[in-house]
Amino acid sequence: MIWPFGSPDLRVLMVCTANVCRSPAAEALLKHHLKALGAGRSIAVRSAGTEVGAPGRRPDPRVLSILDEMGVKSSGMRAKPASQQLMDEAALVLVMEDAHRRVLCERFPEAAARIELLDVSGQEVPDPYFGNKAGVRATVELIDRLTRSHATTLLERLNYTGSNSV
pLDDT tens, position by position, 79-130: 999 999 999 999 999 999 999 999 999 999 999 999 999 999 999 999 999 9
pLDDT at 141 over 60: yes
User: Is 160 in contact with 40 (CB distance < 8 Å)?
Assistant: no
> Torsion-angle region of residue 81: left (phi > 0), alpha (psi -120 to 50) or beta?
beta
Burial grade of 138 (CB within 10 A; 0-12, 13-18, 19 or more): middle
Q: How far apart are CA 76 and CA 20, in angstroms?
A: 12
Q: How confident is the model at residue 6 (pLDDT cuts 50, 70, 90)?
A: low
pLDDT at 164 over 70: no
pLDDT at 161 over 60: no
| Counts for the chain of helices (H) and strands (E), in that order | 5, 4
Q: How confident is the model at residue 3 (pLDDT cuts 50, 70, 90)?
A: very low
Q: How far apart are CA 46 and CA 11, in angstroms?
A: 8
Q: How far apart are CA 39 and CA 31, in angstroms?
A: 9
42-55: average pLDDT: 96
* Cα torsion through 67, 91, 103, 99, rounded to 10: -50
pLDDT tens, position by position, 7-45: 788 999 999 999 999 999 999 999 999 999 998 788 999
Ordered domains of the chain (ranges, CATH):
10-161 (3.40.50.2300)
pLDDT at 2 over 80: no
Q: How far apart are CA 166 and CA 156, in angstroms?
A: 10
Q: How far apart are CA 162 and CA 19, in angstroms?
A: 31
Distances (CA, A) of 110 to 49, 61, 85, 138: 18, 35, 12, 34
Q: How confident is the model at residue 157 (pLDDT cuts 50, 70, 90)?
A: confident
pTM of the model: 0.91
Active site residues: 16, 22, 127
